[in-house]
Amino acid sequence: MNRQKRIRAASLILILAPTVAMTGDAPALKEIMQELRDNLIEISDGILTDDFEQVAQGAASIAEHPKIPPAQVALVAAALGPEMPAFKRLDNVVHDLSVEISAAAEALDRDAVISGYQRMIEGCVDCHSTYKKRVAAVLSSQPE
Ligand code: HEC
C-alpha cells in the first residue's frame, strides 16, 4: 500500500471508528525513520557530488522531521519509564547535528559537513543500539 492509500485507509478508519484510530494521518515513528534514512542518503549524495544545496536540504528535512504521533509517544513513554528523557536526548543530538550540518553546507564548509555527518550517523546508531528493538516491539504490538 503506498503512503497516499495508507493515509486514505487511515482516514476511513477514523470516520468509521473514531475511538480506534488514534494516530489519524500523522506518520508513525517507523515512517518518520524511513524518511530520515532518505534524508541521510540525500546528505551523503550531496557530499559525494559536491552539491552543498542537496546537503543543506537533506539536513533541513531531518531538522524538521514530523513529530511522533502523541499516541505513540505515550506508548514509548510507558515502556521506557525513567529512560524516556535519555531517549529524547538522543533525538535532540541528531536534531542539533542536522542544524549544524545545514549551516556548514550553507557556508560551503566541507570539513564541518563531513564531521557533522559522521557524528550524525553515530547519533542514529546510538539510539538504535539502545532502544530500537524495544521500542519497535512496543509499537508493533499496537494496531495503527
Ligand atoms: C531517539 C532514538 C532514535 C534516533 C536518534 C534515530 N532512530 Fe531510527 N529508529 C528508532 C526506533 C525506535 C526505530 C524502530 C521503529 C519501529 O520499528 O517502529 C527506528 C528505526 C529506524 C529505521 C528502520 C525503519 C524500518 O523500516 O523498519 C531506519 C531506516 C532508521 N531508524 C533510520 C534512522 C536514521 C537515518 C537516523 C539518524 C538520522 C535515526 N534513525 C535516528 C529510534 C531512533
Spatial neighbors of 94 by CB under 8 A, at least 6 apart, are 62, 120, 123, 124, 127
The pLDDT value given to residue 141: 83
Which residue's CA is the nearest one to ligand 1's atom 25? 30
State if residue 119 touches ligand 1 by the CB under 6 angstroms criterion: no
State if residue 133 touches ligand 1 by the CB under 6 angstroms criterion: no
The residues spanned by each domain of the chain are: 26-140
State if residue 120 touches ligand 1 by the CB under 6 angstroms criterion: yes
For ligand 1, pick from 35, 80, 121, 124 the residue to mutate: most ligand atoms within 8 Å of CB.
124
| CA 11 to centroid of ligand 1, rounded, Å | 25
The pLDDT value given to residue 5: 60
Atom number in ligand 1 closest to CA 36: 35
CATH number for the region 26-140 comes to 1.20.120.10
From the list 6, 8, 31, 11, the residue with the least C-alpha distance to 21 is 11
Mean pLDDT is lowest, of 14-23, 32-41, 68-77, 103-112, for 14-23
From the list 44, 59, 50, 52, the residue with the least C-alpha distance to 101 is 59
Condensed to tens digits (0 to 9), the pLDDT of residues 43-79 reads 999 999 999 999 999 999 999 999 999 999 999 999 9
The pLDDT value given to residue 8: 55
Query: What whole-number distance in Å separates Cα of residue 144 and Cα of residue 142?
Result: 6
State if residue 75 touches ligand 1 by the CB under 6 angstroms criterion: no
Condensed to tens digits (0 to 9), the pLDDT of residues 70-122 reads 999 999 999 999 999 999 999 999 999 999 999 999 999 999 999 999 999 99
Which residue's CA is the nearest one to ligand 1's atom 12? 132
State if residue 128 touches ligand 1 by the CB under 6 angstroms criterion: yes
Task: Select the more confidently predicted residue: 8 or 129.
Answer: 129
